[in-house]
Amino acid sequence: MSLASQSLSSLRRQLTAGNITSRDIVQDTIEQISARDGEIKAFLSHDPETALAEAEKADLSLPLGGLPIGIKDNINVRNHPCSCASKFLEGAYHSPYDATAVIKLRAAGAIPFGRLNLDEFAMGSSTENSALQITQNPKAPGHIPGGSSGGSAAAVAGDLISAALGSDTGGSIRQPASHCGVVGLKPSYGRVSRYGLVAFGSSLDQIGPLTRTVEDSALLLNALAGGDLRDSTSLDDDVPDYTEGLENGVAGMKLGLPKEYFTDGIDAGVRARVEKAAADLEAQGAEIIEISLPHTEYAVATYYIIAPAEASSNLSRFDGIRYGNRSSEADDILSVYQKSREEGFGSEVKRRIILGTYVLSSGYYDAYYSRALKVRTLIRRDFEEAFEKVDAILTPVTPETAPKIGAAAGDPLKHYLADIFTISANLAGNCGISVPLEPIDGKPVGLQILGPHLGEKTILRTARAVEALGS
d(CA 329, CA 240): 54
Confidence band of 190 (pLDDT split at 50, 70, 90): very high
What's the chain's Rg over C-alpha atoms?
A: 21
pLDDT for 231 beyond 80: yes
Residue 424: phi and psi, rounded to 5, are: -60, -35
d(CA 304, CA 426): 12
Residue-level pLDDT at 150: 98
Report all structural domains of the chain as residue ranges with CATH numbers, in order of start.
Answer: 3-248 (3.90.1300.10)
Asked whether the whole model's pTM tops 0.85, one would answer: yes
**For residue 10, cis peptide bond before it (omega within 30 degrees of 0):** no
| The residue type at 347 | S
pLDDT for 470 beyond 70: yes
pLDDT (average), residues 282-305: 97
* Catalytic pick among 9, 83, 125, 148: 148
Residue-level pLDDT at 263: 86
Residue-level pLDDT at 413: 77
pLDDT (average), residues 421-441: 98
* Catalytic pick among 86, 130, 172, 434: 172
Task: Identify each DSSP E strand in 89-226 by its residue range.
Answer: 111-116, 163-168, 183-186, 206-211
pLDDT for 223 beyond 90: yes
d(CA 87, CA 130): 9
Range name among 161-175, 178-192, 311-325 with the lowest pLDDT average: 311-325
Residue-level pLDDT at 139: 98
d(CA 80, CA 375): 40
Q: How far is CA 249 from the centre of its chain?
A: 26
pLDDT for 471 beyond 80: no
Residue-level pLDDT at 214: 98
DSSP label of 199:
P
> Is the CB of residue 378 less than 8 Å from the CB of residue 119?
no
Q: How many residues does the chain have?
A: 471
Alpha-carbon distances, residue 112 vs 74, 158, 177 (angstroms) = 13, 18, 20
The question of whether 95 is a catalytic residue gets the answer no
Residue-level pLDDT at 324: 86
Work out the percent of the chain whose per-residue pLDDT is above 70.
100
The question of whether 361 is a catalytic residue gets the answer no
Kindly report, residue by residue over 68-109, the tens digit of the pLDDT. 999 999 999 999 999 999 999 999 999 999 999 999 999 999
d(CA 90, CA 88): 6
| Mean pLDDT score across all residues of the chain | 96
Task: List the one residue out of 182, 178, 138 whose CA is nearest residue 401.
Answer: 178
Q: Beta strand pairing status for 163-168 and 206-211?
A: antiparallel
Give me the sign of the Cα torsion angle 192, 198, 200, 201.
positive
Task: List the one residue out of 115, 113, 116 whose CA is nearest residue 51.
Answer: 113
Task: List the one residue out of 348, 362, 395, 454 whose CA is nearest residue 178.
Answer: 395
Kindly report, residue by residue over 107-164, the tens digit of the pLDDT. 999 999 999 999 999 999 999 999 999 999 999 999 999 999 999 999 999 999 999 9
* Catalytic pick among 9, 22, 41, 72: 72
Q: In what order do the strands lie in the sheet with 206-211?
A: 43-45, 111-116, 68-72, 163-168, 206-211, 183-186, 431-440, 443-451, 392-396, 254-258, 287-291
Kindly report, residue by residue over 385-430, the tens digit of the pLDDT. 999 999 999 999 999 999 999 997 777 777 788 899 999 999 999 9
Kindly report, residue by residue over 38-74, the tens digit of the pLDDT. 999 999 999 999 999 999 999 999 999 999 999 999 9
The question of whether 148 is a catalytic residue gets the answer yes
Kindly report, residue by residue over 316-359, the tens digit of the pLDDT. 999 998 878 899 898 899 999 899 999 999 999 999 999 999 99
Residue-level pLDDT at 140: 97
